[in-house]
Amino acid sequence: MTTRRARGEGGLHWDESRQRWIATVTVGYTPAGKRIVRKGSGKTKTEARTKLREKIRDYEDGLALVRDGHTVADALNDWLAYGLNRQSESTKANYATLVNSHIVSDLGARKLRDLTATDIDRWLMGKAQHLSTRTLRLLHSLLNRAVNRAMARDKVKRNVVALCAVPTGRGGRPSKSLTLDQAKALLVAAERSSLHAYIVVSLLTGARTEELRALTWAHVHLKGKPTNEPPLPPSIQVWRSVRADGDTKTRKSRRTLALPARCVTALATHHEDQGQPSADRLVFVSTAGTALDRHNVLRAFRPVVARAGLDPRDWTPRELRHSFVSLLSDSGVSIEQIADLCGHSGTTVTESVYRHQLRPVLLGGAVAMDRIFDAEA
């Protein structure tokens, strides 16, 4: 005689169309009184019951059931579409390119519920053969954020990406700086370029390219303010950048920089060439009169580098800032002063980012010994 199952044990039946055993159980009711049913299927009764027990355990643990068909590509596309509202359009485009080129192409078809930490480790190690450590960290971060979003929306139980460490990749492009002779040659070569004033200001003030591209004439004071107390020399106010929020990189980056005479001359000529533009106009614009982007700057910069006798493939506009640090350090300017001019919150950033450009000289011992032995002489 068949024994009746106890209340709460659920049901078990054969589904002819699917050719599988289906185990079902009611785990609760919605506020509207509708049953909350969980099902497990298998080729055998035991397999069906095992699947059902796993789903009941997940439910009791507060873990939502995963959509079987949700893939890594689905999670990434959802994050790109809805998770980047505060980012600039250029950042969104950059992230989309990285995601599609390096993550979707390798892991996109994988079901999110089946993704394992081993899959991530194997993928990262493969990428480490061709990509820099910095790019690997960014790819890991993008995938991690996408899976976090999927987990928050009940598409997966846990984030296995967070369990994986980023391996060391290929060495990145080493930073370098112009020598004094190279810097002089570059300034001469720039005189015939539309980028002349930009190069002069970047090299002689150390302002970031993102700061110069957002600079308006209202923040340029070519005559200074001699009647102020204390008098203000010719200067630029580095108060904005082309970042998404329009602010500078850090609070300390918001600064006013005195202009060397060569910068004043170059900017005055540039102002005349632009037809005495209004104060709200950008200082540096493209040949079409639109705002510069990094591609505009790089295209105009390369011919100048070539005329200076340097290889255009080896130099980028950001290295003008590195050269600024190197030239100041070579001339004996203290690291504290260089950090202030660069807009760094302290000398630690200056030392770590520009360590190859700094030429520290420890003078204390030599000065003391000269004083000691001069006294005995």
Instruction: State the catalytic residues.
Output: 208, 249, 321, 344, 354
> What φ, ψ does residue 40 adopt, rounded to 5°?
-135, 140
DSSP 170: B
H or E element, residue 298 = helix 294-307
CA distances, 331 to each of 235, 284, 325, 338 (Å): 22, 29, 10, 11
CA torsion 230→231→235→239, rounded to 10°? 40
Q: Distance between CA 341 and CA 329 in Å, rounded?
A: 12
Count of C-beta atoms within a 10 Å radius of residue 247: 14
CB 9 within 8 A of CB 3: no
**Which pair of structure tokens corresponds to residue 321?**
């800032």
Where is 256: in which H helix or E strand? strand 255-258
What phi and psi, each to the nearest 5 degrees, are found at residue 158? -150, 165
Structure tokens at 222: 């070519």
**3-state secondary structure at position 57:** helix
Is the previous residue joined to 230 through a cis bond, with omega within 30 degrees of 0?
A: yes
Output the CA torsion sign for 299, 300, 303, 308.
negative
CA pair distance 371, 153, nearest whole angstrom: 72
Tokens of 198: 């930009």
Q: Give the whole-angstrom CA distance, residue 105 versus residue 99.
A: 8
How many Å is the Cα radius of gyration of the chain? 31
Tell me the three state secondary structure of residue 123. helix
What DSSP string runs through 1-16? -PPPPPTTS-EEEEET
